[in-house]
Amino acid sequence: MSRHPEVKWAQRLDKAYVTIQLPDAKNAKVDLTPDGVFTFSASAGAQENLYELKLELFDRVNVKESKINVGVRGIFCVVQKLEQGWWKRLLTAEGRPPHYVKVDWDKWVDEIEDEGFGGDLEFGGMDFSKFDGMDNGAMDDDFEDSDGEGKELSEPGKQDINNEASTIEEQDREKVAAST
């Protein structure tokens, strides 16, 4: 019997972000059709449990412009909408979504913010370079890519992806060895 991985989603006017949270996924297979049917299967865990899901997205999508990236901690998909517009929900089915589908509040933007209202803020001519004690590059090291190296598929459609790095610890060891 297969299990369902946790799925998080957010959207913009022209795209939807779908993140499948399944660390160390092996033999990941992702398929996206123009009708908006998104299917996924992979194995993960010590017993290599099978994880599968099929999502019928709210509207049609542009498969050629969509991108899928398989990383160490999960699968990140940028699904390009065929027509620009805000979807009422991720899935075609009305009512509550399945328990494993959740909003990704880290990526969520309200409609009014996406249309430019909140994007370019005016600061009344304030010059932030005059603030003392601020080092512009000090925080850059804190925001490394958390997934390490992933594989990107420019055209998702029945792809079979095998992760080369099997564990996060392996990647950490590789980083330490490269820095010495």
Q: Strand ranges (DSSP E) for 33-177?
A: 37-44, 49-56, 61-70, 75-81, 101-103, 151-153, 159-161
Q: Which of 13-17, 42-46, 53-57, 132-136 has the lowest mean pLDDT?
A: 132-136
Q: Which residue has the higher pLDDT, 7 or 146?
A: 7
CATH for 6-113+149-179 (2.60.40.790, 2.60.40.10, 3.30.70.920, 3.40.1170.20): 2.60.40.790
Can you read off the two tokens belonging to residue 41?
């299967």
**Distance between CA atoms of 145 and 25, rounded to whole angstroms?**
18
**Distance between CA atoms of 180 and 176, rounded to whole angstroms?**
7
- Percentage of the chain beyond pLDDT 70 is 63
Q: Where are the chain's structural domains?
A: 6-113+149-179
**Distance between CA atoms of 78 and 54, rounded to whole angstroms?**
16
pTM: 0.63
Q: List phi, psi (to 5°) of 2.
A: -90, 160
